[in-house]
Each structure stands twice: as structure tokens, then as C-alpha cells.
Structure 1
């Protein structure tokens, strides 16, 4: 396009552009400045066009920054409101549950059931169900029974096994790297898992774990350890120094299973009064 415009860029031209950009019409400003750059004949006008575009670019960036800050502030306020409401809901729910438990507790007259609510080691519980739930949580977290991982390691020995559980390791975040909860980048909730190890033969080990660490899938040997990845959750099995070639060949023989002797808590627990001093407990 020829340099055919010999008219200077005036103060009125600049003021007109300022008014246009103030209402957010970026396209019109861009077209006008581009036209100046293409067609102005004299160097001072071309330099003025470049200067104006630099100024308008800075203004656009300022608008974007301000809009982003306002958006973040709105998100933060909404988040705080939701957290406050959730806290209120949870508080009301807790009050309701405690009131319901109090009714159940006072309705029971059987001395044996009342005594069963208390523990010399862990203290008193409002209801028998609370104590059973607590025991179930202890079993599911610390008793290595209920979930078994079979590893075909092919090392021709009985290796020591160390198991670690963690969440949101690199590559396991649901929406890509860095998208896990705040503070979880690189992995979080690291726990050394209690185990019971059974050596089926010199090349196969059965690792029994608590039910709270039950994951789906099968462990795969990669580089130095066997890893069982289920979504953002990972179990890592360290068998010490291994022959990597032999370990990789055993990947097809690795598996997981639920133990037949898993300890489960009673479900649908009901108490039926037989007489003034005795109640019958029924559960599934």
C-alpha cells in the first residue's frame, strides 16, 4: 500500500482515538493506527502512530489487569460466602445428629448396652454405634487385612516390602499438572502404610493392606518401584534393589483382590426391646 497520506496526525486525531478506546472499541483504534502506519508519508507521523499504539496497548493491558483483579475478588468473595454457608450447614447438621443420638441414647435402658458404649482405653461414647464406627475406622486404617496386592517381582528371593500411600503426585492430577488442591503440587498426604507380607514363592509376594487403602487396578513396575495408581491416589511398593528387567517381565502377573476374611462393621443395626431390662441387637 502506497505512502499517500501527507496530512499530519493532529491533537484532535489523538483525542478522538482516546474517546474511542475509553468505550472499549479496540478494533476501531487498531484499524485507525494501522492505517496511519501504512499510509502516512512522513517519518514524524509514522513515529507518532507507533507512539499512540504503544500508549493504547498499555491502556488495554491495564484494563485486562483490572478486570482480572475484579474477577478474582468476586471469586474470592463467592468462595468465602460458600465456605461460611457450608460451615453453618455442617454446624446445624452436627447439632441435629447429636440431638438424634441423644434421643437414641436415652431410649436405651439395657445396662449391658449402656456399658458397651464406654471403653477404659478410648473413653465414653454417646451411642454404641459411635463406638463401633470408631473401631471400624481404626481397623480400616491400621489393621493390614481386607486388601491384598500380589506382586510378581521375579527376584528369586524374599524381599522386604515398604508401602507408601500419597495423593496428587505429578501426572495424577485429574485436570493436568498443577490442578490439584492448593498445596498438593508434587504430592500430598504421604503415609507409610502398615502391611502384612506373605511370600507365596521366591518370585511372588502378597502384600496385605488395610481396607482404607484399597485401590482399583494392578501395580506396575516402573524404574525402581511398583506403583498402583487409581485416579489421584497412589500406592508405592519398594522392594529394595531389584533386577529391573525381571521385574518388568512380571508386570502381567500383578493383581489386587479383596480378602475373604475382611472385617466389616455391622450394617443396619437395630435394637429391639425384649423387656424392661433386655434389648436384642440385629444387624446385617
Structure 2
């Protein structure tokens, strides 16, 4: 394609480029192109501009590739987590409940029989304060008359039961407001 250098008018339109978005290297190259007297310097400024633009494009491409990789990793994690939830839901829906299982679940460890499983669950939530110990195979249930629903549990320590002996734990209310319920280790039996 041949060039047609026949426009004698100067560029007088306002520069629409937001100069706050132009980095200092590009500003310097543009300054050289506008102000250098000799063609050799103008050509060098053009060459450096071409190299700088190429470098910028390379950096942008690397960022784009990293973002694409991150997006794929996040999508894979999302897909895996979603599939896990779907599988759990299907397992829940597909699980069979045997009548005897529900009947047995209505009986607590003390042998109290509730009319419905819902009645037993409500009783557990409303009438009991339960401590589960990871160090023990025993589930300890304390009667607290709904005390635990309005108070905070603070773990003070653990009982060493390696000798097969039980630890004695007592409960006390430590302040006048009774806003904290403490269990403390007393000793070994």
C-alpha cells in the first residue's frame, strides 16, 4: 500500500489520551518523537516505542495467562465442591431408614422411651447440657434446667484417664451475674 503524504495541515485537535494513564517511559518516548531534531533520534525513539509496546503486551499476556489459569483452578474447585454437595444430597435422599432404627432412637441412654423421635430431640435440646470429650469414650450429660442456653462454656483443662481412673469434675458459677458456667478438674479417684 502506498502512502499519500498530501495533508499539509497540522494536528490541532485536543489530545484525547488520559495522560494519568500513560507511564513515564511512554511519556519520554512521545517527548523525544515530538522534540528531537535529527531523524536518527526520531527513528531511535520510534524503535524504542515499538519495543516498549511489545514488552507491555508481553507482560499483559502473562498476567492474562495467570488469570486464566487461576480461573480454571477456581472453576475446577467449584465443580468439585458442587459435585460433593450433590453427592451428599443424593446419598441423604437415597438412604433408607429402617423402622427399628427410628424406634430405637426414641430411647435414651437411661432407658426413657419417648413417643416420637422429635420429642426426644426436643428434650435433648431443651433439657440437657452435653459435653462431648474427644479424650473419652463416655458421653457425659448434665441436667442444667436450660442453664446452658444462656451461658458460656469455658474449658479449664482435661482429666488424665490413662490409668483407667475417673476424674472428678464439679461445676460452679463464678460470678454474681451467672453468665459463665465453668467445669473444673478436682483430682483423680
TM-score, normalized by the shorter chain, greater than 0.5: no
- The structure with more helix, counted as a fraction of residues: 2
Q: Which has the higher strand share?
A: 1
Q: Which has the larger radius of gyration?
A: 2
Structure with the bigger RCO (C-alpha within 8 Å, sep 6+) is 1
